[in-house]
Structure formats: structure tokens, C-alpha cells
């Protein structure tokens, strides 16, 4: 085998090994954060006697797909049948970490198993329980984007159609 052929073969093998060892960014995101799961229908009744129940049982999960800490502040969850969304609050999500983004109120924190929790501060349920007419059902948009039911600024999305009570869906 000639020296040139050996060099090319070794270079190709080295590139293949590097590709295997390097974690790839998921195909479902074009940004630093990715939607991975959603629980659009919290377990049990949404309301009782006009009072909202289990708001924090409704959530979506984001993952930092970069090798650096990303601040979640300004990213826009856009539920595609309404425009009353608001940007995510400021929270420093470490590289590779996941965060449950809850609908209701609470203190942002990292639990004992290393999972992060971020709270949006709504006083009502906002994720769709039935949404067979929209695709996608939820978009995550880059900071500065509008919550306007368009794909402009989208970096990740999730679909679930009709949400079963207390079921979490993979995006």
C-alpha cells in the first residue's frame, strides 16, 4: 500500500473515531436549547370550583445541548393556538442539563437528583390538552422572537395531538 493511500486511510479512520466520540446536536433544534418532553395535561382536574389545580403538573422539558451554560431568559415558548405566552425567566442552565419548565409559580432550583426546575408564573393552565389541528403544538423560539403562532425564530418544536391525563410525551 502506498504511503498516500495509508495516510488517507488513517485520516479517514481518525475522523470516524472523532465523529463517534463527539456527541451530536439533536436534529430537532437549531439553537442552544431543545424541547425534549412535554406534559400538557396535568394529572387530575384542571379546575375545581373556579380554582386552578396542579399548575406545576403541566410542564415541558428543555435541554441545554451546548458545552456551556445558557441563560434561559428571553427564550419564547409559543403555544401555536394562542398568543399569551411570555418569555422564559432568567435561569442559568449548565451544559448538558435539563430543566422542567413548570406553568405555575415557584422558586427556580436544582433538585437532589440534579434536575433543574424553572417556573413561568402563570395562574392558569396554558398548554393545549387537545390540539389536533395545529402542527407543531409548541415551539421554542430564540430570544427576541414574537409569540405570534408563526415559525419565525423557532429553534425546536413538539407535537402531541390529544393529551391524555398526566401523560408525558417525547418531542
In the three-class reduction of DSSP (H, G, I as helix; E, B as strand; rest coil), residue 39 is classed as strand
Q: How do the domains of the chain map onto residue ranges? A: 28-170
Give the C-alpha separation, 62 to 77, whole Å. Answer: 10
Query: Which whole number is the average pLDDT over 47-69?
Result: 94
Lowest-pLDDT range of 34-38, 51-55, 102-106, 145-149: 145-149
In the three-class reduction of DSSP (H, G, I as helix; E, B as strand; rest coil), residue 158 is classed as strand
Give the C-alpha separation, 121 to 108, whole Å. Answer: 11
When pLDDT is cut at 50, 70 and 90, the band that residue 77 belongs to is very high
Query: Which whole number is the average pLDDT over 97-117?
Result: 97
Kindly report whether the global pTM for this prediction surpasses the value 0.85: no
Cβ neighbour number for residue 150 with a 10 Å cutoff: 13
Digit-coded pLDDT (tens) for 9-30: 333 333 333 332 333 333 367 8
Fold of 28-170: Immunoglobulin-like (2.60.40)
Give the C-alpha separation, 26 to 11, whole Å. Answer: 26
Q: Which residue has the cell 493511500?
A: 5
Question: What separation in angstroms does the CA of 26 have from each of 21, 113, 129, 141?
Answer: 15, 24, 26, 16
Amino acid at each position: 500500500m502506498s504511503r498516500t493511500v495509508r495516510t488517507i486511510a488513517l485520516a479517514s479512520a481518525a475522523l470516524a473515531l472523532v465523529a463517534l466520540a463527539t456527541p451530536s446536536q439533536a436534529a430537532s433544534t437549531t439553537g442552544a436549547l431543545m424541547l425534549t418532553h412535554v406534559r400538557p395535561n396535568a394529572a387530575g382536574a384542571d379546575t375545581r370550583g373556579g380554582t386552578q389545580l396542579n399548575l406545576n403538573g403541566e410542564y415541558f422539558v428543555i435541554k441545554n445541548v451546548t458545552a456551556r451554560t445558557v441563560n434561559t431568559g428571553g427564550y419564547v415558548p409559543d403555544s401555536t393556538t394562542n398568543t399569551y405566552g411570555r418569555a422564559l425567566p432568567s435561569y442559568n442552565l449548565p451544559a448538558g442539563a435539563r430543566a422542567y419548565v413548570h406553568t405555575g409559580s415557584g422558586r427556580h432550583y436544582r433538585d437532589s437528583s440534579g434536575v433543574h426546575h424553572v417556573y413561568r408564573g402563570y395562574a392558569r393552565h396554558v398548554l393545549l390538552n387537545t390540539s389536533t389541528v395545529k402542527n407543531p403544538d409548541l415551539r421554542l423560539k430564540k430570544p427576541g422572537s414574537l409569540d405570534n403562532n408563526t415559525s419565525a425564530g423557532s429553534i425546536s418544536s413538539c407535537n402531541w395531538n390529544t393529551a391524555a391525563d398526566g401523560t408525558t410525551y417525547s418531542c
